[in-house]
């Protein structure tokens, strides 16, 4: 049986590839895409999600907009990494994407799906955790309908937005705290894992060789992403963080997970938004979170290239 999944995202170059992977692979039943402010404003991340779906022929998957700001604290975007549109690189043109916006909004859509889907659903957040936290606060009685939460965020080591904090967690630390303490099973793909999957020129060449309009768009995305990661972090090739979440659901053998207590720093003068991961059990806190520590990068890229191939054939998802 395919895994029923809702993506909650802020596209974002790597979020875009997660949408493609989830839509393309027969092991995933993509029930909905909800958007959140993060890499860019909510209006832009929502437009980008619809643009990606349009370009890839992903139709019939509802797309709904969620929160436009964190539960607490200032709004921030990652324009230095994802550009002014949040998805710089490809030329999308001015026309409206043909994939509509679901008028219900993210929280209502989540509620409707969790109430009606025959089995519990896996949430895959790859942006700030605002929508998920807001949902848990609004509908605590539906928490049990969430099978697990497989998220990209945090790190077992240092951050990428401050020395201590990763972008998604720093955008809304209070939301992240609610999610990690929700009691639902959480699997965390942090920077320590996602930095193991770099879109090298060899990977980009494999995607280019597919020779479809979608593969050309993906090459444009990765080329832009590579340029900002080179400029900002001095990386030779950019890490494609977010799709490790769905890749894990497709093939758990690609990732080595360990169990650890994860605490979100809410107060630190220099460390707000850090994920404090107790890998050695020194705090005595329950090791209740699964934390990705090692990734089969080649297996991951095989899935990504195959997803672009399947969708690029023009047949649409599966």
- Supply the residues annotated as catalytic: 241
CB of 38 to ligand BDR, least distance (A): 7
Q: Which residue is nearest to ligand BDR (CB)?
A: 167
- Could you tell me the strand order of the sheet in which 289-295 lies? 63-65, 28-35, 3-9, 121-125, 146-152, 186-189, 289-295, 255-264, 275-278
Q: Cite the DSSP H helix spans in 128-190.
A: 130-138, 167-171, 173-180
Q: Interaction with ligand BDR in 73-92: which residues (CB under 6 A)? A: 78, 81
Contacts of ligand BDR in 287-306 (CB under 6 A): none
Q: Which of 285, 234, 240 is nearest to 263 (CA)?
A: 285
Binding window for ligand BDR (CB under 6 A); candidates: 45-53, 160-168, 219-227, 289-297: 160-168
- The set of residues, in sequence order, having a beta carbon less than 8 Å from that of 90 and lying 6+ positions away, is 217, 220, 221, 224
Binding flag, residue 102, Ca ion (CB under 5 A) = no
Q: Does 189 bind ligand BDR (CB under 6 A)?
A: no
Q: Which of 4, 5, 7, 12 binds Ca ion (CB under 5 A)?
A: 12
Question: Which is closer to Ca ion, CB of 75 or CB of 111?
Answer: 75
Select the residue interacting with ligand BDR from 8, 172, 177, 242 (CB under 6 A): 242
User: What's the min distance (Å) between Cβ of 17 and ligand BDR?
Assistant: 10
Distance CA 50, CA 56 (A): 10
Contacts of 51 (CB under 8 A, 6+ apart): 87, 92, 97
Q: Which residues bind ligand BDR (CB under 6 A)?
A: 12, 14-15, 39, 78, 81, 126, 152, 160, 166-168, 241-242
């Amino acid at each position: 049986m395919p895994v029923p999944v809702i993506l909650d995202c802020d596209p974002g170059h790597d979020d875009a590839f997660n949408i493609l992977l989830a839509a393309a692979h027969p092991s995933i039943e993509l029930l909905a895409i909800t958007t959140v402010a993060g890499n860019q404003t909510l209006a832009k991340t929502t437009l980008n999600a619809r643009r990606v779906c349009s370009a890839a022929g992903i139709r019939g998957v509802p797309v709904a907009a969620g929160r436009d700001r964190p539960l607490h604290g200032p709004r921030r975007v990652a324009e230095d990494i994802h550009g002014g549109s949040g998805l710089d690189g490809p030329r999308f043109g001015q026309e409206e994407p043909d994939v509509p916006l679901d008028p219900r909004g993210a929280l209502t859509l989540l509620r409707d799906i969790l109430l009606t889907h025959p089995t519990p659903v896996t949430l895959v957040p790859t942006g700030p955790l605002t929508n998920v936290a807001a949902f848990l606060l609004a509908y605590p009685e539906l928490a049990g309908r969430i099978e697990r939460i497989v998220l990209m965020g945090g790190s077992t080591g240092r951050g990428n937005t401050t020395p201590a904090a990763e972008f998604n967690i720093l955008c809304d630390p209070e939301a992240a705290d609610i999610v990690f303490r929700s009691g639902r099973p959480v699997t965390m793909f942090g920077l320590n894992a996602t930095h193991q999957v770099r879109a090298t020129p060899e990977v980009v060449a494999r995607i280019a060789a597919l020779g479809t309009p979608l593969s050309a768009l993906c090459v444009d995305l990765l080329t832009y992403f590579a340029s900002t990661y080179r400029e900002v972090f001095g990386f030779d090739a950019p890490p494609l963080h977010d799709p490790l979440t769905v890749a894990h659901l497709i093939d758990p053998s690609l990732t080595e997970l360990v169990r650890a207590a994860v605490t979100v720093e809410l107060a630190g003068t220099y460390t707000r938004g850090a994920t404090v991961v107790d890998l050695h059990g020194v705090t005595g806190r329950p090791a209740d979170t699964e934390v990705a520590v090692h990734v089969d990068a080649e297996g991951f890229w095989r899935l990504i290239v195959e997803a672009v191939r399947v969708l690029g054939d023009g047949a649409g998802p599966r």
